[in-house]
Structure 1
Amino acid sequence: MSVRTPVAVLGNGPVGQTTALLLARRGVPSLLLDTRPHRDLSGSRSICQQRDVLDIWDFAGPGRRIAAEGVTWTTARTFHRDRELFAYTLPGHGKSPFPPFVNISQARTEQLLDEQIAGEPLIEARWGQHVDRVEPDEDGVTVGCASGLEVRADYAVACTGARSAELRAGLGIDFTGRSYDDRFLICDIRAELPGWANERRFYFDPAWNPGRQVLIHPCPGSTFRIDWQVPADYDPATDVLADRIRAIIGDRPYEIVWKSVYRFQSRVASRLRVGRVLLAGDCAHLYSPFGARGLNSGVADAENAAWKLAYVLNGQGGPGLLESYHDERHAAALENLEITTATMDFLVPNDEARRQHRLDVLARAADDPAARAEVDSGRLSEPFWYPNSPLTTVDPSRPFAGRPARGAVPSPAPGVLVPDVPVEGGRLRALAREGFLSLSPCDLPERHLRFTPALRDALGAREGEIWLLRPDAYVAAVLTDPAELPAARARALGF
């Protein structure tokens, strides 16, 4: 059996779901294929959804429902042994409709995305389709399935997850990196823990897990996710899980909802684009979970891929637009790899010098504010920046200052995600995602929004400037002459 579709999305997890929904939002039909016979709704898995990802899901449809059902944790507490080192409070909503993070199980997120997909006529999902052949050529992509189904697509997006070695090998893609020896025991429990519902707790070297870490996250429905770092030879058959749980919550009643043991990896694909095939999510990169950079970065991959595919399919994208997907998202993947590797070097030091450094920092952190900045339990996920992208028009007066401090965002400039602020007609990012948008002090013949004093202040815009925003709400250019707009737009479209 053979079918035809503009875009084949391989993998019906949250990254694939998001890709299909964003394509549909831009009028592009897609076919979702997944090996599994049906949706697996067990376990919390990826739970921390970042504000800017909620914003993307809002454009796709279910973002506000996901945010409303999730738990917003406001305080992050860090302990060393039996002593609290410090706590910090996450910033509030500010001008965004979303909190910095919500915790919600990946299973529930997928359900809400499924509900959105069910009402979308431009998306067809087929389960039980194991993809065993992906063959790009000059005119399209042939996707073969073990069932005998053959799909001919203009483009394919591979969101097939971590177990994609065969697919990557078939495309000639390396997946270098490392696997960590230590394992993690994850357990979702349901219990009443007063005062814990809005806190994330991170324990270094507690007496009840000596020499290793424990992370506790609140989830909806009085559920808590507990992650224990355990040795490589950990055997769940001989472990007394009840003792582990009691050491944390005491004699309170509890129910085990789900549990799992995993070993994680840190890897990035050598290429995120091979001809007409794009790689996204865990198929393209794997990180340690500290900082919640896995699913969050996968959703950013999906948005980057979807708007570019839509413009290419509509005949508006230039020859460099799809290659810029690799340029931008591969750079983001390497940034995430560097950050999460630094965290793992602190959490699981692999030589004596790093071990001594970790012990020294933790010993000083309770009383020395300077040492607290060196305690690395994971830098929380944040949008990447594209100042070096071939789509970005450089503004010499706004040089990119590099990675911002923890909890900070880069100043608005070319290559940076625009702040989300209320504007006439809605919110700035939502308007930008409808298509290229210029911000201008005067009327323009193209789609534009007039600057107000509040908008100018939010961006730090100067008198007379014109800002061009991409369809993913990133700043493509800051100009002073309207005559420069066509060239900046052409560059942002890959011409």
Structure 2
Amino acid sequence: MTVAVLGSGPVGQTAALLLARWGVPVVLVDEHEARDPVGSKAICQQRDTLDVWASLGAGCLAEEGLTWTIARTFHRARELFALELPDAGSALPPFVNLSQARVEAVLDELIARQPLIDVRRGHRITGLTQPGGVVVECETAGGPRRIEADYAIACTGAHGDAVRRAVGQHLEGVSFRDLFLICDIRADLPGWAAERRFHFDPPWNPGRQVLIHPCPGSQFRIDWQVPDDYDLAAEETGGALDRRIRAITGDRPYEVVWRSVYRFHTRLVRRMRVGRVLLAGDCAHLVAPFGARGLNSGVADAENAAWKLAWVLRGEAGEDLLESYHAERHAAAVENAAVTTATMDFLVPQDDERRARRLDVLTRAAADPAVHEQVDSGRLAEPFWYADSPLTTPDPARPCAGRPARGTLPPPGPGILLPDVTVASGRLRDLARQGFLALTTPGLTVTGVRSAEIPVGGVLGARPGEAWLVRPDAYVAAVLRVGDQRAHLVPGVRGVTRVVDDVGDRADAPE
């Protein structure tokens, strides 16, 4: 029983490693013969992404990445506010900046040591069919090749048109007219190493925005919003690029390490599961990078897909479980599209009325902290909450209030990712990632799944006589109580539907 992972960027690498960890053989297919090690590309890795990688043995990524904890926002020459990121009680930083090339190199090292992963490079995908399994047609230097698998995860990125066409999908949405110039520079900028800086309408890029991210090795990633007729070659030749950079660095020496020009998009496929093919990452959804919701969301796609495919292939769940991948991750993509579209509407207002509103908000924010929430420079990446998932049993005592305030986390409950903390039984998410887990309060026993005891209160806010059922991706599926007679917990997952009866019939609640 094999899964073909199509595309070997960080999302595909993560999917392959997660599947192998669950004991599933993988064929990892990529069209490139070798990596391109140049350029920062996707640099901003969120805490929960780092957590997934650490669970695979890549904890060094959190250590190597440059940790930043403050996001500063400026309007013209004035700082409006600084947002300090919450620590959430985790040993991992809220965000690190690290080049995509370094992430890929570390994950490649893990893949090379994993006997269940068969890497096929230099395979350009030309077609895909599903005749009771998945057949992937490829062109290679040695001629056509065919790869057969039981299922596939398509991580072929924005340019994965061949796969999308084969499953009847395309990226629907909009592209933004303005361009963005990206430069990686190496320079000594004292005091900037732990801060992300966002500038609205600075004097040195009038009418547009600039974002500055620190990176390891005294490097900085700078994104300038530029007109749609921007000519990078002309700027380099005429010296304007040097003047643009020196407006930020001053007279300090600097070196341009990489530069490129991008147009940003908000585009989604309509279906992220088509038969035996699951679409993930940029193959399924493109969003503007403000808030770092691209790669981080793709890694969440990979983890969601991997455990569900593993359960199906091991006979522990029916194939209907895979439909919940679409339900959960497409909802996450829609949320990310809404958040980033609102950001782009604020960054690039499309008419005079919206431009006037933005100027009013930025002007008032300088003196009124109550207005800060209206300043949108990109809501930072966060996990998506599966409160409405078919795999989540709602708890009336812990209703999900939806998207939490910016910079905050929701209280634990059904549909919410477990806090990344240590309890008496070990690191909570490590316990969860071994399979379904029941976290029980003292005096309560549960049969049918693994269990570990948690204190009443504590980080979960657990109450006497409760058992918290946790999925293999560390999301809470349900909170159970003695006598609870709800009909289901995780539909289609064998062995887990018994837990309600076990709690109701066999557990003794403490007085």
Answer whether TM exceeds 0.5 for this pair: yes
| 1:242-299 deviations in Å (ceiling 9; x for gaps) | 1111110100011111111111110111000000000000000000000000000000
Aligned match of 2:80: 85
Matched, 1:347 2:347: yes
State the aligned residue count.
Answer: 486
**CA shift at 1:491, angstroms?**
5.2
Instruction: Letter of the 2:72 partner, please give it.
Output: R
Aligned match of 1:182: 178
| 1:449-477 deviations in Å (ceiling 9; x for gaps) | 11224xx3211111111110000000111
Question: Is contact 1:12–1:32 with CA below 8 Å preserved after alignment?
Answer: yes
C-alpha separation between the residues in 1 aligned to 2:383 and 2:100?
Answer: 20
**SS of residue in 2 equivalent to 1:146:** strand
Question: Is contact 1:9–1:158 with CA below 8 Å preserved after alignment?
Answer: yes
Matched, 1:23 2:26: no
Question: Is contact 2:316–2:493 with CA below 8 Å preserved after alignment?
Answer: no
Question: Is contact 1:391–1:492 with CA below 8 Å preserved after alignment?
Answer: no
Instruction: Letter of the 1:65 partner, please give it.
Output: C
Which residues in structure 2 correspond to 1:168-317 (within 5 Å)? 168-239=164-235, 240-317=240-317
Aligned match of 1:142: 135
C-alpha separation between the residues in 2 aligned to 1:490 and 1:335?
Answer: 24
Residue of 98, 115, 121 corresponding to 1:121? 115
C-alpha separation between the residues in 2 aligned to 1:193 and 1:173?
Answer: 46
**CA shift at 1:483, angstroms?**
7.4
Residue of 446, 453, 456 corresponding to 1:444? 446
C-alpha separation between the residues in 1 aligned to 2:337 and 2:127?
Answer: 29
Aligned match of 2:318: 318
Instruction: Letter of the 1:57 partner, please give it.
Output: W
**SS of residue in 2 equivalent to 1:458:** coil
C-alpha separation between the residues in 1 aligned to 2:263 and 2:462?
Answer: 47
Aligned match of 1:155: 151
C-alpha separation between the residues in 2 aligned to 1:170 and 1:158?
Answer: 11
| 1:419-468 deviations in Å (ceiling 9; x for gaps) | 12212342111100100000113233331011224xx3211111111110
Q: In 2 relative to 1, CA 305–449 (structure 1 residues): closer, same or farther, beyond 3 Å?
A: same
Matched, 1:59 2:55: yes
Aligned match of 1:474: 475
Instruction: Letter of the 1:182 partner, please give it.
Output: D
C-alpha separation between the residues in 2 aligned to 1:339 and 1:291?
Answer: 9
**CA shift at 1:91, angstroms?**
2.4
Question: Is contact 2:70–2:84 with CA below 8 Å preserved after alignment?
Answer: yes
C-alpha separation between the residues in 2 aligned to 1:74 and 1:409?
Answer: 16
Q: In 2 relative to 1, CA 483–218 (structure 1 residues): closer, same or farther, beyond 3 Å?
A: same
C-alpha separation between the residues in 2 aligned to 1:451 and 1:75?
Answer: 33
C-alpha separation between the residues in 2 aligned to 1:484 and 1:405?
Answer: 34
Question: Is contact 2:271–2:326 with CA below 8 Å preserved after alignment?
Answer: yes
Which residues in structure 2 correspond to 1:86-101 (within 5 Å)? 86-92=81-87, 94-101=88-95
Instruction: Letter of the 1:160 partner, please give it.
Output: T
Instruction: Letter of the 2:219 partner, please give it.
Output: T
Q: CA RMSD in A?
A: 1.6
**SS of residue in 1 equivalent to 2:82:** strand
Aligned match of 1:395: 395
**SS of residue in 1 equivalent to 2:5:** strand
| 1:356-384 deviations in Å (ceiling 9; x for gaps) | 11010111111111121111000000000
Question: Is contact 1:393–1:491 with CA below 8 Å preserved after alignment?
Answer: no
C-alpha separation between the residues in 2 aligned to 1:296 and 1:218?
Answer: 18
Q: In 2 relative to 1, CA 178–489 (structure 1 residues): closer, same or farther, beyond 3 Å?
A: closer
Instruction: Letter of the 2:190 partner, please give it.
Output: P
**Unpaired stretches in structure 2, ≥5 consecutive residues:** 498-511
C-alpha separation between the residues in 1 aligned to 2:438 and 2:74?
Answer: 48
Question: Is contact 1:281–1:298 with CA below 8 Å preserved after alignment?
Answer: yes
**SS of residue in 2 equivalent to 1:17:** helix
Aligned match of 2:99: 105
Aligned match of 2:373: 373
Aligned match of 2:29: 33
**SS of residue in 1 equivalent to 2:293:** coil
**SS of residue in 1 equivalent to 2:400:** coil
TM-score, normalised to structure 2, is: 0.93
Question: Is contact 2:127–2:162 with CA below 8 Å preserved after alignment?
Answer: no
C-alpha separation between the residues in 1 aligned to 2:461 and 2:351?
Answer: 46
C-alpha separation between the residues in 2 aligned to 1:353 and 1:189?
Answer: 37
C-alpha separation between the residues in 2 aligned to 1:164 and 1:421?
Answer: 38
Instruction: Letter of the 2:297 partner, please give it.
Output: S
**CA shift at 1:482, angstroms?**
7.2
C-alpha separation between the residues in 2 aligned to 1:261 and 1:88?
Answer: 28
C-alpha separation between the residues in 2 aligned to 1:87 and 1:400?
Answer: 28
Aligned match of 2:66: 71
- Which stretch of the first structure deviates more once superposed, 213-222 or 409-418? 409-418
